[in-house]
Amino acid sequence: MIVVSIITAQEQIMGMSVSGHSGYADKGSDLVCAGVSSIAIGTLNALDLLTKDQCQLEMNDNLVRIKVLRNSPEVQLILQTADIQLKTLSEKYGSYLTIKQTEV
């Protein structure tokens, strides 16, 4: 199962992590994994290119992690877009993708 953890503070997304494998299909044919990976990598790329040095970004084989260092409307727009996309995917594939939201 893919686990998405979203950290919020005062209704602002301050961090996000994506880890795990969906198990929906074999490697190379897993639509859930491909969808989540596209959203996660697109989010990293957008934050890197459009909000220089406002977020700490990490990507490994099985983990994407984002930590907001300096919040801005641009950072929130990108992260909220990713949140909506992931929740939309979860509506159809909730057995393979879980989203946990924690308020700090």
Look at residue 61 in the predicted model and tell me its pLDDT: 86
Tokens linked to 80: 């909220």
The domain tally of the chain equals 1
Distance CA 10, CA 103 (A): 8
What is the residue-level pLDDT of the chain in tens, covering all 104 positions? 999 999 999 999 999 999 999 999 998 899 999 999 999 999 999 999 999 999 999 999 889 999 999 999 999 999 999 999 999 999 999 999 999 999 99
Domain of 78, CATH number, reads 3.30.70.1490
- pTM, whole model, 2 decimals? 0.94
Nearest to 53 by CA among 71, 39, 41: 71
Dmax (CA) for the chain in angstroms is 40
Beta strands in the chain (DSSP E): 2-9, 12-20, 55-60, 63-68, 97-103
Q: What confidence score (pLDDT) does residue 12 get?
A: 98
- What was the pLDDT predicted at 93? 97
User: What is the rounded distance in angstroms from the CA atom of residue 51 to the CA atom of residue 12?
Assistant: 16
Please check whether residue 91 is in contact with residue 99, taking contact to mean a CB–CB distance below 8 angstroms: no
Domain that holds residue 72: 2-103
